[in-house]
Amino acid sequence: MPVLVQKFGGTSVADAERIRRAAARVVEARERGFGVAVVVSAMGHTTDELISLAESVSPMPDRRELDMVMATGEQVSAGLLAMALCDLGCPATSLTGGQAGIRTDGVPMRGRITRIDTGRLERLLSRNEVPVVAGFQGLSEDGEITTLGRGGSDTTAVALAAALRVAETGGCCEIYTDVDGVYTADPRLVRTACKLPRISYEEMLELATLGAGVMHARAVLFGEKFGVPIHVRHSQKPDAGTMIARESQAMEELAVVGCALKDDLGRVTIRQIRNCIGLQGTLFTALAHANIVVDDIMQTEQGSSTMIAFTVEHADLGDAKQIVARTLTELGDGEMSVEVGLAKVSAVGVGMKVHAGVASRMFRALGEAGIPIHNITTSEIKISCIIEKVHGPTALEVVHRAFGLGLGSNATIAMQTDEAQG
């Protein structure tokens, strides 16, 4: 029997009505002949509310104890969804992460899944029952409740799908969310953007990191590692969404599959600093300790001195500035400057590996639109340009058009079966 893992996010189980609709989705899949295991997030804003509650008791809540409190959100959703399934005549059993056999490394609030004992899940599935697993959590080897940090429920779903070998059964992991798939660009910014029927893990990873919400990079990485096909779908619509799967020959035919815009970045530039051994380590360790997520790092050399620039989310810029200033004072070297109001436009596609001239096409398009490029970073399958924030939406649109993405261009041939959303 083909097995599906269906994951319902917070908005998909936000109230009683939606929980019943999620249950109907599960029953539907079973009627199409699938065995189904379900993973749920906490209802709506429950996790944020639990964190606020904890902070009202303790300004800096103990991390282990915060895990005890937070893990209850998903347990409640799981119980409720199982009730709704029972009411539809579908035998269902909710399970905490621990009961579902999910073992973690025990690091509070950002635990990693170390293994999954699928015994109980497989017993339930073989009896044609539906296990409903509380996402975002597991038990450490010591029996401690650990939550998995951001993107934890997506990761739970993909990890369960891997452990249950759903791909071998002909199933996949379905992620039900409040968008209907992955688009060639953010449809709120680019009216001609259209939904991609298929995307590779690598492309999705780049897009996830570049500001295209939809799915957390961590879950995609898990999917890639274990070859789990991930179907991202809208929880309130019947249409197919986007399948995230291994790169195929067909995918390489398109140089670029999607574009993304990351808004409101700041940049710290360090000039006139000697490139002594360990400089970069010192600098970025200090930033990491302050929990600042660095976006892109660029380094160039000018004679004996070096220039290092990096971008961060605008909200982190103040902290980043202070830390760099302190580090430079300790080193007794370098000059710092800070710019605000930047953005990053990126083009992503596995086809870049085999298509030449992708970068130049992007630069030319931005140039023709009169948009200056401040920095460039590239990977094997993506090109990013730092531009001024004010040019962001236009830049996204011209790059999207330059690669023939979206409605009305040739590239749409591949997606004609999907309804486009403006």
Q: Which residues bind a copy of itself (CB under 8 A)?
A: 16, 19-20, 50, 53-54, 56-59, 61-62, 64-69, 71-72, 75-76, 78-80, 82-84, 86-87, 93-94, 96, 99, 143, 145
Q: How far is the CB of 162 from a copy of itself (least distance, A)?
A: 23
Q: How far is the CB of 123 from a copy of itself (least distance, A)?
A: 12
Among residues 174, 186, 366, the alpha carbon closest in space to that of 258 is found at 186
Q: How far is the CB of 100 from a copy of itself (least distance, A)?
A: 11
Question: Token pair 């080897």 is at which residue?
Answer: 141
Q: Which is nearer to a copy of itself, 79 or 393 (CB)?
A: 79
Q: How far is the CB of 13 from a copy of itself (least distance, A)?
A: 10
Please tell me the distance from the alpha carbon of residue 314 to that of residue 417, in angstroms, as a whole number.
39
Q: Which is nearer to a copy of itself, 75 or 311 (CB)?
A: 75
**What's the Rg (C-alpha) of the chain?**
23
Residue 127 DSSP label: T
What DSSP element (H or E) covers 376? strand 375-379
Q: How far is the CB of 138 from a copy of itself (least distance, A)?
A: 14
| Token duo for residue 80 | 């409720």
Q: Which is nearer to a copy of itself, 53 or 297 (CB)?
A: 53
Q: Which is nearer to a copy of itself, 145 or 190 (CB)?
A: 145
Q: How far is the CB of 70 from a copy of itself (least distance, A)?
A: 8
Q: Which is nearer to a copy of itself, 17 or 301 (CB)?
A: 17
Burial class (CB in 10 A: 0-12, 13-18, 19+), 177: buried
Q: How far is the CB of 9 from a copy of itself (least distance, A)?
A: 17
Q: How far is the CB of 147 from a copy of itself (least distance, A)?
A: 12
Q: Which is nearer to a copy of itself, 95 or 415 (CB)?
A: 95
- Amino acid at site 184: T
| Token duo for residue 201 | 């893990």
Whole-angstrom CA distances from 324 to 265, 281, 288, 290, 412 are 17, 12, 12, 11, 46
Q: Which is nearer to a copy of itself, 147 or 200 (CB)?
A: 147
Contact 2, 33 (CB under 8 A): yes
Long-range contacts, 222-225 (Cβ 8 Å, 24+): 222/155, 222/158, 222/159, 222/162, 223/158, 223/161, 223/162, 223/173, 225/162
Q: Which is nearer to a copy of itself, 66 or 194 (CB)?
A: 66
Query: What are residue 249's phi and psi, to 5 degrees?
Result: -50, -45
Please tell me the distance from the alpha carbon of residue 156 to that of residue 137, in angstroms, as a whole number.
8
Q: How far is the CB of 128 from a copy of itself (least distance, A)?
A: 17
Among residues 157, 178, 248, the alpha carbon closest in space to that of 18 is found at 178
Contact 154, 204 (CB under 8 A): no
User: Strands 335-348 and 258-274: what pairing?
Assistant: antiparallel
Q: Which is nearer to a copy of itself, 65 or 419 (CB)?
A: 65
| Token duo for residue 315 | 């909200």
What is the maximum alpha-carbon separation in the chain?
A: 74
Q: How far is the CB of 127 from a copy of itself (least distance, A)?
A: 15
Q: How far is the CB of 325 from a copy of itself (least distance, A)?
A: 32
Helix pair angle (217-226, 152-163), 10° resolution: 10
